Structure 1
Amino acid sequence: MYIPEEYKNNNLEEVKAFLQKNSFGILINQSEGKLCATHIPLELEKSENGKDVLFGHISIENPQWKGFASSDKVLCVFSGPHIYISSSWYDFEGVPTWNYIAVHVYGTIKIIEGEALLSSLKKLVDKYEANSENPVKVENLSKKTMMMARGIVAFEIEIEEIQAQHKLSQNRDQKNYDNVIAALEKTGNSSAKSIAEEMKKCPR
């Protein structure tokens, strides 16, 4: 991902927190000579050897997984809030742009089975059922229901590189930076408010 220097986010802990909060990503790889992409949850965890990994799974009917063995290098793309920035908010003539947060994760993928597969499913369900009134637990599901696990291909991606960009008007002077924040907060748009909050936290 092309990232101008002023937009790079080199704070690894902040980036990891972003990945955990915005875990619905895009898995991209090459399979049978074609580029494939699937939109799925990709959960950041520590592997047994202490390395950062992403866990996920796709349907066995999805041919993308057939390329994992022959081409095990993958790209995972994660997006955060984003919003149009009007140049009318500046005190000078300029051009409109877009503010956004995005992270690309590169790594090596391998298929997991057995207890590793069940563990990844438990972690996924526990995370998203945490706020449910009657949370579902994988360990409480019947054998008949758990047979559906035969219809998925679970995987682990060992992370090799993370590229993180937070394009938040850092190239503007303080007055115009504040102008953008104020204008975003007036819109009533949830994405605009999210970007405004990120801009307030962004180091300058």
Structure 2
Amino acid sequence: MVYTPKQYRMSHDEAVQMMKTSPFALLITVEEQRPLATHIPVEIREEQGKMYATGHIAYGNRQKKTLENNRDVLLIFQGPHAYISSSWYEGEEVPTWDYLAVHAYGTARLLATDELKSALAAMLDHYEAHRENGRVWDTFTPGKLEREMQGIVGFEIEITGIQGAAKMSQNRNNTDYKSIVGELEKSNDQEENLVAEWLREQRKELFK
């Protein structure tokens, strides 16, 4: 379980939204007391009051052995994050790190071939359908993707618990808060700019 003080806890809806907008996750399971992890994109869907994450890993990935009927699977989603220098504060303080993260727990199972095909088609639609000449399923040479499927294993995780952490300078006074945003916006680092954008949105009244 992720340690999250009350003031930094995301709402359920905020956590789900971050899972959908930052879908490149870390899949974690355990094999004989040894943790295994794979960085993969997943698709999040909600139906009939339940939430699922689908994805796939390489057939040669040993983690596939831990995904059949496993009730102890963890997906970690990482949002924007940035180092916060204490030199930006009015008073003497220590530096810290601002970040957004979601831990999703659930039960995994492996997908049958037809289910994997449907999951891959949905993923292609998500990332390709809006593009000019997007490569959705039916645009590939017949049989091409079916052959590629032989090298992967699909899985589905029924998500049974979600914990979201937004440690984003909520404890700072307005003066420090504005200073943090201003310093982050000077940066050429995209992550720092995204943190500044998030901070601005939370206290809009300070930036009118």
Task: Give the TM-score taking structure 2 as reference length.
Answer: 0.90
Residue 151 to residue 72, structure 1, CA distance change in 2 (3 Å): farther
Aligned AA (1:52): M
Question: 1:16-55 counterparts in 2 under 5 A?
Answer: 16-47=16-47, 49-55=48-54
- Structure 1 residue runs without a partner (length 5+): none
1:7 is matched with which residue? 8
Aligned equivalents of 2:115 and 2:49: distance in 1?
15
Aligned-partner residue type, residue 35 of structure 2: L
Residue 6 of structure 1 aligns with an amino acid whose one-letter code is: Q
Matches within 5 A, 1:67-82: 67-69=66-68, 71-82=70-81
Report if aligned partners of 2:74, 2:105 keep a CA contact under 8 Å in 1. yes
Q: Map 1:19-168 onto structure 2 (within 5 A).
A: 19-47=19-47, 49-69=48-68, 71-141=70-140, 142-168=142-168
Shift of 1:132: 3.1
| Aligned 8 A contact 2:69 2:108 in 1 | no
1:134 is displaced (CA, Å) by 1.5
Shift of residue 70 of structure 1?
6.5
TM-superposed CA distance for 1:145, in Å, is 3.7
Is 2:51–2:158's contact at 8 Å kept on the other side of the alignment?
yes
Deviation at 1:158, TM superposition (A): 0.4
Could you tell me how far apart the structure 2 residues matched to 1:72 and 1:196 are? 37
1:32/1:63 CA distance change after superposition, 3 Å: farther
- Once the two structures are superposed, residues 119-168 of structure 1 have per-residue CA deviations (whole angstroms, 9 ceiling, x without a partner) of 11011111121443321121333214422212211111001111101111
CA distance in 2, matches of 1:102, 1:82: 9
Q: Secondary structure at the match of 2:198?
A: helix
Uncovered stretches (5+) of structure 2, i.e. residues with no partner: none
Secondary structure class of the residue paired with 1:134? coil
Q: What is the TM-score with the length of structure 1 in the denominator? A: 0.92
Aligned Cα root-mean-square deviation (Å):
1.8
Q: C-alpha separation between the residues in 1 aligned to 2:46 and 2:118?
A: 12
- Aligned partners of 2:79 and 2:101 also within 8 Å: yes
Q: Is the 8 A contact 1:44 1:55 kept in 2?
A: yes
Partner Cα distance (1:70, 1:123) in 2:
23
Deviation at 1:32, TM superposition (A): 4.2
Aligned residues: 202
- On the 8 A contact 2:57/2:154 being kept in 1, the answer is yes
